[in-house]
Amino acid sequence: MNTTQLFDVRNKVCVVTGGASGIGLACGEAMAENGARVVLMDIDTARLEEAVARLRVRDLAVSGEVVDVSSRVSLAAAFDTVAGREGGIDVVFANAGVDVGEGFIARDGSRSVEGALENITEEHWRKYLGINLGGVLHTLQEAARHMKPVGSGKIVVTTSIASFCNVGGVGTSYFAAKAAASHLMRQAALELARYNIQVNAIAPGSFATNIAGGHVRVPEVRRILEASNPQQRIAEPDEIKGLALLLASDASSFITGSEIVIDGGALLGPADSGAQHD
């Protein structure tokens, strides 16, 4: 098999949760640009319709399904609809997630009362773990239900560099969910390997997306994030496309249980000010 065939996803049926914007939309767009039949799933009806319309103008094979990933019933109905219409599901991006608000450090650098550990409410904990972790579990379950009978499939979970490190400015429930999703991905990879289903994760650093929209798009916060990154910038969603295509294609046939970091070197630590270039 040559390299062109390795990355061939033509006519693959691809589902992307949280697909109406950001990293999810970029993953779906990458698949559609390479000939896959893509279904974007999202709870935001207006944003979903806008995303589908924008891609269809380019004659890409894209449709949308409104779904709440925190409800397995909702997700199961959407997966069944897609499988019935398209004849199966080959690739699933478990991407849906939401910003949980600030952590114990507020945006101005002061200590946040609301984000303090002892003030995390039961309602907050259940809500955000239900989406950011429960949504991953439900997506893995539905993907497995449709892929195991045919003995093949690709599942890609969006985690975060929050799986590896902690910062005070991001809510505690976000770190808990992403770290758990990372381990859940590996457990699923172990269980599903015998069915020729590869399960991997993409762990992004700072991207200009809606989930980070509460702070990344604030100019002073963006400057701090850019200055702390060895590449002196944050990423645009399109920069996820190459990795998404790799993990969705036969090029990753012997990769499973891996969590691939795409963060511009952020986990390495700061390098220099970037004020001068050699």
What's the CATH number where 26 sits? 3.40.50.720
According to the model, what pLDDT value does residue 32 have? 98
Residue 40 falls inside a structural domain: yes
Pairing of strands 259-262, 197-204: parallel
CB atoms within 10 A of CB 226: 16
Residue 134 falls inside a structural domain: yes
Please, which residues bridge with residue 62 across strands? 38
Look at the chain and report how many structural domains it folds into: 1
| Domain that residue 158 falls in | 3-263
Residue 273 falls inside a structural domain: no
Active-site residue set? 174
DSSP 163: G
Total-model pTM? 0.93
According to the model, what pLDDT value does residue 213 have? 44
Q: Do the beta carbons of residue 173 and residue 101 sit within 8 Å?
A: no
pLDDT tens, the chain, 278 aa long: 788 899 999 999 999 999 999 999 999 999 999 999 999 999 999 999 999 999 999 999 999 999 999 999 999 999 999 999 999 999 999 999 998 888 999 877 899 999 999 999 999 999 999 999 999 999 999 999 999 999 999 999 999 999 899 888 889 999 999 999 999 999 999 999 999 999 999 999 888 876 554 555 566 667 777 788 888 888 889 999 999 999 999 999 999 999 999 998 889 888 876 555 45
According to the model, what pLDDT value does residue 254 have? 98
**Phi, psi angles (nearest 5°) of residue 241:** -60, -45
Please, which residues bridge with residue 207 across strands? 235
Q: Do the beta carbons of residue 198 and residue 253 sit within 8 Å?
A: yes
Residue 268 falls inside a structural domain: no
